[in-house]
Structure 1
Amino acid sequence: MAARSIASMTLSFGLVSVPVKVYTATESKSGVGFNLMHKECGTRLRQQYVCPHDGKVVERADMVKGYEFEKEKYVIFEKSELEALEASASHTIDIVSFVPTEAIDPIYLDKPYYLAPDKRGGKPYRLLQEAMKDSGTCAVARWTWKGKQHMVQVRAGNDGLILQTLLYADEVRSQADIGIEETDIQPTELQLAEQLIDQYRVDSYDAAAYKDEEKERILAEIDKKIAGNKITAAPAIEQPGAQVIDLVEALRASLKKKPPVERPAEQPAAPRAARKSARTAAPAQEAAEAASAPKRRAVRRAATEDQPAPARKTGTKR
């Protein structure tokens, strides 16, 4: 099924305008959804909106939107008024600056979109992509979409441009507010921790190498239920209690453990000279052992002759 764009825009900076199409880059597949059912008859329940004043069900055609400007006080907006509020939405993604790609903290990254060149936009699109890639920069831009102005990042991906909405500063909580304790790190502890990191380190992240194992487990249990089998409870995972541990010993013990994914290294073939030396050494060792055998037998015989003869038992015959 061919991808469908959600909007046609113009990516602009200075006197340069690049016609682009916007595509959603992600779709949520996490979790397994369950419906609310009536226990008595097994019918799926419907969600309804009920007016608290008269208890009547309100149909969607009779609903309007309101804005609460004070506690329990609202100003009502009709559909035409809401459309007028969104009339300021532009069809332009305005680049305001270029910054180093790593300058934007990933915590501000929100929803990603793909940008593709629209008609007559192929050349400037590729030019912008390659220029940002070569310079190690990304663009910061403004984008008004669905009644909200977004700050966005436009960066060069391997196959094209990626637009990602950014959270505003007041949408990200300060980590300083959670009170992380300050501690002293010893050089030995730091060295062991870095060795542990190197043991688990890989060159890149492959998203296809991971799967939602919990979702697969739940779906397998659902299949059992459909087949008429009883669902078995998942084994309880014992949560470790809070305890004081020796950090250095824990790091050393971790280093002794093998990483969860390990590729067996091929044993290098012994050098030719070493193999030849091993072949010649074996016969020489056997010859040396054969030559020394008579000497060892003579030593043992001499030692036996020097020993006094064992006393003979005497007794009277009956």
Structure 2
Amino acid sequence: MHTVWKGAISFGLVHVPVKMFSATEDKDISLRMLHRTCGGPIAYVRRCPNCDVEAEWDDIVKGYEYDKGHFVLFEKEELDQLAGEKSRTIQILDFVALEEIDPIYFQKTYYLSPDQAGGNAYNLLLQAMNQTGKIGIAKISIRSKSSLAAIRVIDNCLAMETIFYPDEIRSIEQVPGLPKPSEANDKELTMAKLLIEQLSTPFEPTKYEDEYRSQMIDLINRKVAGEEIRIAPQQEQTNVIDLMAALQASLEAAKLPPGGTAGLDTGAGEKPAATTTQAAANTTAADGTEPKLPKPRKPRSSKEKKETVS
């Protein structure tokens, strides 16, 4: 893993030197912008429209537009000074219970490992948090941006989740079109609860996959192999207006045993099997490695079979 940050966790007078690593990675397939005529990649230049010249990096500064077309400029030294000495410190302010934090606050996860001779202090903090069941709320500056963070334990590792400040969370009152509170139809509510019970299962993240990425890798492989791809038009789906009919159909699709709608005890109903994409290129191999996109090779002849993709 690549170290993205080095500093220390501080709580009270205790100082824990740590290194930070990204706990997640973006596996989206990146597509380039190309010129349709020649296939060349489109270049983006740093051009000043006022001077009509391409700007060098040394001539670029950051600024804030306080009014339309009016900016105040900031030098790098000014921004660095705002970050201050705490830019290399994860300062724990409070210890709280994890269940008190709504998931809407969480942003990105990082792993923390001990740095230099900080193993003993690291292990002390990890065990203390494990035994108290608490997580730390801290402040940190990453790339000149101040963030709140939650320090918690994942297995035998300290992890840090950057979280939004309260004023960055939009109010529910700003959401348009929310229905007014009302009592649901008893029969519909019973069937909805039955459906939730029927579809309830322990969380197993490995059974979920990015089907779009699987299909994209498969499509790329076939295009590199020279296959001609035809896209079949999609049929418009009709909206289901009858809520009861939709609930009943959903229960039947979930293989609810006969007579199960009489109450919430559905018995030992068969759980629906987890669906997986049977694409030619799976997203993850059996050994956990990510499939690699193919290198270009000579296209096949036009006599080869054409396929239709729906």
Q: Same fold (TM over 0.5)?
A: yes
Q: Match of 1:192? A: 191
| Pick aligned residue for 2:168 from 161, 168, 171 | 171
- The alignment status of 1:27 with 2:25, answered yes or no, reads yes
Distance 1:14 1:62, change over 3 A: closer
Distance 1:262 1:228, change over 3 A: closer
Q: Percent sequence identity over matched residues?
A: 37
Q: Give the CA deviation at 1:70.
A: 2.3
| Residues 114, 161 of structure 1: 8 Å contact kept | yes
For residues 127-162 of structure 1, give each alpha carbon's deviation from its aligned partner in whole angstroms, at most 9, with x where no partner exists: 332333333321111112222221111111123111
Distance 1:64 1:217, change over 3 A: same
Any idea what SS the aligned residue of 2:2 has?
coil
How far apart are the structure 2 equivalents of 1:20 and 1:221? 43
Query: Which aligned runs of 4 or more in structure 1 are off by greater than 4 angstroms?
Result: none
Distance 1:238 1:127, change over 3 A: farther
Q: Match of 1:261? A: 273
TM-score normalised to the size of structure 1? Answer: 0.72
Q: Match of 1:151? A: 148
For residues 241-286 of structure 1, give each alpha carbon's deviation from its aligned partner in whole angstroms, at most 9, with x where no partner exists: 3x53233x433332222354169xxxxxxxxxxxxxxxxxxxxxxx
Instruction: Please tell me the residue identity of whatever aligns with 1:9.
Output: G
| Residues 89, 147 of structure 1: 8 Å contact kept | no
| Residues 79, 144 of structure 2: 8 Å contact kept | no
Structure exhibiting the larger radius of gyration computed from Cα positions? 1
How far apart are the structure 2 equivalents of 1:180 and 1:166? 26
How far apart are the structure 2 equivalents of 1:160 and 1:148? 25
How far apart are the structure 2 equivalents of 1:132 and 1:153? 12
- How many pairs are equivalent? 257
| Pick aligned residue for 2:56 from 47, 54, 59 | 59
- The alignment status of 1:113 with 2:110, answered yes or no, reads yes
Residue correspondence of structure 1 range 1-318 to structure 2 within 5 A: 3-30=1-28, 32-178=29-175, 179-181=177-179, 182-206=181-205, 208-233=206-231, 236=234, 238-241=236-239, 243-247=240-244, 249-258=245-254, 259-261=271-273
Q: State the superposition RMSD in angstroms.
A: 2.5
Distance 1:27 1:189, change over 3 A: same
TM-score normalised to the size of structure 2? Answer: 0.74
How far apart are the structure 2 equivalents of 1:89 and 1:127? 23
How far apart are the structure 2 equivalents of 1:168 and 1:234? 46
| Residues 132, 155 of structure 1: 8 Å contact kept | yes
Q: Give the CA deviation at 1:165.
A: 0.5
How far apart are the structure 1 equivalents of 2:55 and 2:121? 52
Distance 1:35 1:145, change over 3 A: closer
Distance 1:88 1:174, change over 3 A: same
For residues 9-65 of structure 1, give each alpha carbon's deviation from its aligned partner in whole angstroms, at most 9, with x where no partner exists: 2212223332222111111112x3222223333222211122223433323333222
Q: Which runs of 5+ in 2 are unaligned?
A: 255-270, 276-310
| Residues 89, 145 of structure 1: 8 Å contact kept | no
| Residues 22, 109 of structure 2: 8 Å contact kept | yes
Q: Which has the higher contact order (CA 8 A, sep 6+)?
A: 2
Q: Match of 2:262? A: none
How far apart are the structure 1 equivalents of 2:118 and 2:15? 9
Q: Which runs of 5+ in 1 are unaligned?
A: 264-318
| Residues 63, 71 of structure 2: 8 Å contact kept | yes
Distance 1:262 1:53, change over 3 A: closer
How far apart are the structure 1 equivalents of 2:59 and 2:13? 48
| Residues 11, 17 of structure 1: 8 Å contact kept | yes
